[in-house]
Structure 1
Amino acid sequence: MTLAEMIAQARTALETAITTRQQEQDALMALRSDENLTEEAVAARVATRDAADAEVTRRQQALADLEAEQAREDELAALQARTTPAATRAPAYDQVHRVGQDERTYRPDQDRRGAMFERDVAAAFLGDYEAQSRLQRHMQEERTERGDQLQRAAGTGAFAGLVVPQYLTDMYAPAAAARRPFADACRNHDLPPQGMTVNLSRITTSTAVDNQSAENAAVTEQDIDDTLHTVNVQTAAGQQTLSRQAIERGAGVEAVVMDDLFRRYHTNLDGKLLNQAATGLTNVATTVAYTDGTPTAAELYPKVIEALAGVEAAMLDMASGDNIAVMHSRRWYWMQNAMGSTWPLITQPGVIAQTLGANYATAYGRGVRGVLPNGTPVIVDNNIATNLGAGTNEDEIYLVDRQECHLWEDPDAPMYIRAEQTKAASLGVLLVVYGYYAYTHNRYAHSRKIAGTGLVTPTFTGV
C-alpha cells in the first residue's frame, strides 16, 4: 500500500469518526430535552460522546502524521530533482504525465444562483445517475480544495441551506378508509352493458296443490303470478382538480390522489349497500329488538339465533345455508371480551363448545373475521352506522343469506377520466373517478337486523 493510499484511508476513517461524534452529540441534545431524564443517563451519554470525540482526535493526529510524512517525501523528491546531473536529459513532452486543472463542475460564472446544483440535487433524489455523478464529482472537488474545512466537526445544523431534506414518498400514509368488507362478501355479478335498471321477476303468487275431494272432481288450481322487481343502476363518482405544477414538479402526486379517490369510491359503494335510504340493508331488514340497560354478550347471542331463525323461515327451501353476520368492529371486539362459565347445549361443527365462537385473527377487510358459536361467519364492516337509536349511540348487527345479497358492478369499475383541456386556462388537470353499480338484498325479504339499546357504545367489562 502506497503512502497516498494510506492517507486516503486515514481521511475516510476521520470522516467516519466525525460523523459518529456528531451523532452522539445529537443524541445527547435529544436526551437533555427529555423531561424524564436522569443524571445517570446524561452522564452515560456524555461519556459516549467524549469517547467519540477522543476517536476524532486520534484519527486527526494519525492523518496529520501521514500527511507530514508525505510532505517530507515530496520535499526529498524535489531536492533530488535539483541535484540531478545536468547531463541527464529530460523526457520528451509526450512521454511524461503532466498535472493540469479541470474546470469545476459548478462554476459561479456559469451558474451564479446555483440553479444547476439545485436541479441536480432534485434529479439525484429521483434516481438520475448523471446528476448523482456530478454531485459526487463536486464533493471530490470540495474535498480537494477545502478539505480542511469539510473535516471540521460541524453537524448538519451548520449547513441548513445545503442539507436537502429527504421525503420518503413510497412510505406516504394514505387517509384511512372503511373500504368494502360487506360488498366483497355479497354475491357479485357483472353489470349488463346497457340500461339504467336491472329487472327481476319474483313469483309472488304460487300455484296450489291439494288432495282431490273425490274421483273425477276438479283438482285444485291457482294461477301463478309474478311481480317485477326493479333495481336501479347507480353512478358513484368523485373528482379532484390538481395544478400542473403539483403533477409535473411533485413526486407521485397524481398517483397518490388517484389512489385516494379509488379508496373513497369503494367506501361509498359499501356504505350505500348498508345505509342507503329505502334500499340499504338497514332499511330492508326486519328488526329483532334487543333492549337492555346492562347488555352482555351472553344475552345478545340468543338474539343472533332468533334473527337467523327468521332468515331461514323467510327463505325456506331457497335458503342456501350460507348465512353471515355483519357487524361493526366495536361490536366484534365487545363480543370477544365476554367471559363466562356456561356454553351452548348443542355443539356446532368446528367450534369449541366452551367458547362464544372463534376469532380467525384476520385483518380488517380481508374476509371472514371469525365465527359465532353456531358457526355463522362474521364480516366486520366499519361503514355500519354507530349513531343510531334515540341516544344516537347504537349500532346494528345484520344477519343475511350471503347468496341473496346481490351486487352488480361494471367489470371495469372504477374508471377514471383525466381531462387537461377543461382546466387549461388555469393550468389545472381534472381527475374524475366513476363507476356504475346496482344491488338488492330484497329479492327475498329475508334479512334481519338486531337493534336496540342493547347495542349502545360498548364498555369492555368482560361480560
Structure 2
Amino acid sequence: MSTDTRLSRLQERLRTAQIQRGIIADKGDENGGLTEAEFRQWEQYGRDIADLDDRIAELVSVGQRSEPTGGAAAVRRATSGLSVNEPRTYGKHGRSSYFQDLARVRLGQDDDGSAMQRLQRHATDVATGQEYRDLNRTDGNGGYAVPPAWLMGEFVELARAGRAYANVVNGQPMPGGTDSINIPKVATGSATAIQTADNGAVQETDITDTFINAPVRTIAGQQDVAIQLLDQSPVSFDQVIFRDLTADFATKLDLQVISGSGSSGQVTGVRGTSGITTIAYTSGSPTVAGVYSKIADAVQRVHTTRFMPPTVIVMHPRRWAWFLAAADSAGRPLVVPQAGNPQNAVATLGAVAAEQVVGQMHGLPVVTDPSMPTTLGTGTNEDVIHVLRASDLLLYESGIRSRVMPEVGSGTLTVRLQIYGYLAFTAARYPASVVEIGGSALAAPSF
C-alpha cells in the first residue's frame, strides 16, 4: 500500500473520530452534562485522535526521508488541507481550563508540572499561528449530524375569530326542501276603544299582515391537495385542512349575522336590517360615563319600543378593554371583578375570556366579539356597541357538510377537500329589538 493511500485513510479516520467526539460533546451541552458511559466514550475518542495524530506525524516524517524529491512534497500537499492535526490544548470541549491552570501555577499548586506544560503548549500553539477549526452545529461544519426535531403533534393551526354574536341569537335548524324562509308578520293590528254608551258601537279595526323573507344562502370552501401529501405526511393533513375550513366557516357565518349586505349571495345582517334603532355619541373627549349613559338610553329604547327587555350587550374586545382601563380621579378602576363586591362600579368583570360573557353592565351580560366592525367613520376607525333582545333574531343553520373528491384532479393525483353549509338569518321580526351605539366617540381607543 502506498504512503499516500495510508495517509489518506488515517486522515479519514481522524476526521470521523473528531466528528463523533464533537457530537457527544454537543449532546452533553444540550443535556446539561454527559452520562458516565458517554464520558468514557468521549475520552476514548480523544485517545484515538491522539494516536492517529502520532501515526500521521510519523508517516509524514517517513515520507519526507524516503522521497526527497517529489514524495515529501506530495505528502505535505496531502496533509496541508487537514484542518486539525492535533487537539487544541484548551479546546471547546476539552477537560482542561486555561484559567484554572493559570491559577494553579501562580498559587504554586502545580505539583506535577502538568498545568505549566499545558500553558507552554498553548503558548506554542498561539505563537506558531496554527489554524484550528472546531466542529459545531452549523450546517456543513458538523451541523448535518444534528437534525431538527419536527414536533408534528404540536402543529400550530391558524388563529381565527369564532361566532360569538351568532351564538347568542335564536338558533334554529334549517328546514329542508327550500331556498327561502318566509315568516308571516302582523303589519297593523286590531284596536279597542272606550264604548261611548250602552249599546254603542264597538271599535273594529282590521288587522293587516305582511311577511319577512330570509333567503337561504351558502358558505363553502375547498382545498386541492396532492395525494402524496395526504399519503406521506406524518400528520393527518386532511384533518388539518378540514379543521381550518370549519374554523373559517364559523368566522364567515358570524360576519354574515353582524354585517351581511343582503346582496351577492349574502344574508341581511343585523346592521343592514331596516328599522333597527341607532344612537350616535359624538364627542372630542369621550368618557366611560358618556358611553355608559348611551347604553342606558339603548336599554330604555328596547323597553319603550319593543315592550320587552333586552338580553345582552355585544361589543368588540377593544371597547371592553377600554372600559377595563378606565379609572376615576383617584386612580381607582371603574370596572372591577365581581368577586370584589364592588360599589359604584359602572360594570363588573366576570371572566377574562374570549368571545363569550366577560362581565355585566346595566344588569345585562356583556359579550365580546372580534368580528364587530372597527373601521367605521371617516378615517377614525370607529366601532359599535349593540344592545339587543337576542331571542328576537332568528338564525337557521344546516350542518356543515364535507366532501372528498378524488375524481376532480385524478389526472394529476390531486384530491379536493370541500365543506359547505346553508344559513338563513333575519333580524326583521322586531327591528326595535336591536339598538346600535356608534359615532366618533367610539373611535379607536388608546391605552
Category of TM-score, reference length = shorter chain: 0.5 to 0.7
Segments of 5+ residues of structure 1 without an aligned counterpart are 1-16, 28-47, 65-152, 344-348
1:96-121 Cα distance to aligned partner (Å, 9 max, x none): xxxxxxxxxxxxxxxxxxxxxxxxxx
For residues 19 and 162 of structure 1, the distance between their equivalents in structure 2, rounded to whole angstroms, comes to: 7
| 2:305 paired residue number | 314
The aligned amino acid for 2:347 is G
Give the letter for the 2:353 counterpart: A
Structure 1 residue 255 and structure 2 residue 239: aligned? yes
Counterpart residue identity of residue 349, structure 2: N
Question: Any conservation in 1 of the 2:23–2:145 contact (CA below 8 Å)?
Answer: no
- C-alpha contact (below 8 Å) 1:386/1:392 kept by paired residues: no
Match for residue 432 of structure 1?
A: 418
SS at match of 1:422: strand
Give, in angstroms, the shift of residue 159 of structure 1: 5.6
Residue equivalent to 1:237: 220
Indicate the residue corresponding to 2:374 in structure 1.
386
Q: 2:36 aligned with 1:22, yes or no?
A: no
Partner of 1:282: 271
Q: Taking structure 1 as reference, are residues 272 and 61 closer, same or farther at Cα in structure 2, changes over 3 Å only? A: closer
**Is residue 217 from structure 1 mapped to residue 207 from structure 2 by the alignment?**
no
Cα distance in structure 2, aligned partners of 1:159 and 1:429: 40
What is the distance in 2 between the residues matched to 1:424 and 1:53?
54
Deviation digits for residues 168-216 of structure 1 (CA, Å, limit 9, x no counterpart): 1221211111110111111111111120111111112111111111111
Contact kept? 1:188, 1:409, Cα under 8 Å:
yes
**1:435–1:55: structure 2 CA closer, same or farther, 3 Å change rule?**
closer
Per-residue deviation, 1:166: 2.8
Structure 2: distance between partners of 1:418 and 1:254: 9
Preserved CA contact (<8 Å) 2:258 2:270: yes
CA distance in 2, matches of 1:305, 1:435: 38
Corresponding position of 1:266: 250
8 Å Cα contact 1:408/1:438 also seen in 2: yes
The counterpart of 1:417, out of the listed 367, 381, 403, is 403
Aligned to 1:451: 438
Structure 1 window deviating more from structure 2 (439-448 vs 276-285): it is 276-285
Aligned in 2, Cα 1:57/1:218: closer, same or farther, shift over 3 Å? closer
Structure 1, residues 220-251: CA drift from partner, whole Å, max 9, x if none? 00011211111111111111111111111123
Shift in Å, 1:281? 1.6
2:159 aligned partner: 176
Q: Provide the secondary structure at the position in 1 that maps to 2:272.
A: helix
**Within 1, Cα distance between the matches of 2:225 and 2:37?**
52
Residue 350 of structure 2 is aligned with which of 351, 360, 366? 360
Deviations 1:132-153 (A, max 9, x none): xxxxxxxxxxxxxxxxxxxxx9
Rounded to whole Å, the distance in 2 between the matches of 1:439 and 1:273 is 7
CA–CA distance in structure 2, aligned partners of residues 307 and 322 of structure 1 = 9
**Secondary structure at 1:369's aligned position in 2?**
strand
Using the alignment, how far apart are the partners of 1:302 and 1:223 within structure 2? 40
Deviation at 1:451, TM superposition (A): 0.6
- When the two chains are superposed, the root-mean-square deviation of aligned CA atoms in Å is 3.2
- Which residue of 2 is the match for residue 326 of structure 1? 314
Residue in 1 that maps onto 2:101: none
**Corresponding letter in the other structure for 1:289:** A
Give, in angstroms, the shift of residue 377 of structure 1: 0.8
Give the whole-Å Cα distance in 2 for the aligned partners of 1:229 and 1:418: 37
Superposition pairs for residues 5-404 of structure 1, below 5 Å?
21-23=25-27, 25=29, 160-161=143-144, 163-250=146-233, 251-278=235-262, 279-284=268-273, 285-316=276-307, 319=308, 321=309, 323-340=311-328, 352-365=342-355, 367-372=356-361, 374-404=362-392
1:247-288 CA-to-partner distances (Å, cap 9, x unmatched) read 111232211111110011000000011111252122233210
Quote the Cα distance in structure 1 between the aligned partners of 2:153 and 2:42: 40
Q: Write the letter of the residue equivalent to 1:369.
A: V
Aligned equivalents of 2:322 and 2:173: distance in 1? 37
- In structure 1, C-alpha distance between the alignment counterparts of 2:178 and 2:358, rounded to whole Å: 37
Deviations, residues 5-54 of structure 1 (Å, cap 9, x unaligned): xxxxxxxxxxxx99884256469xxxxxxxxxxxxxxxxxxxx98xx699
Matched position secondary structure for 2:411: helix
Q: Measure, in 1, the Cα distance between the counterparts of 2:35 and 2:22.
A: 8
SS of the equivalent of 1:198 reads strand
What percent identity do the matched residue pairs reach? 29
- Does the CA-based 8 Å contact 1:325-1:397 persist in structure 2? yes
Equivalent residue, structure 1, for 2:396:
408
User: Is the contact between residue 422 and residue 430 of structure 1 (CA under 8 Å) also seen in structure 2?
Assistant: yes
Contact 2:350 2:359 in 1 (8 A): yes
Contact 1:362-1:368 at 8 Å conserved across structures:
no
Give how far 1:62 is off: 10
Cα distance in 2 for residues equivalent to 1:192 and 1:57: 73
Query: C-alpha distance in 1, partners of 2:37/2:412?
Result: 59
Aligned length: 323
Whole-angstrom distance in 1 between the partners of 2:152 and 2:174: 37
Report the CA distance between 1:219 and its aligned residue: 0.5
Q: Note if contact 1:233-1:437 (Cα within 8 Å) is conserved in structure 2.
A: yes
Q: Distance in 2 between matches of 1:20 and 1:159?
A: 12
Judged with a 3 Å threshold, the aligned counterparts in structure 2 of structure 1 residues 187 and 24 are, in CA distance, closer, same or farther, namely same
Q: 1:210 to 1:18 in 2, by over 3 A?
A: same
Conserved in 2, the CA contact under 8 Å of 1:21 and 1:53?
Answer: no
Letter aligned with residue 298 of structure 1: A
Tell me the TM-score normalised to structure 1 length: 0.64
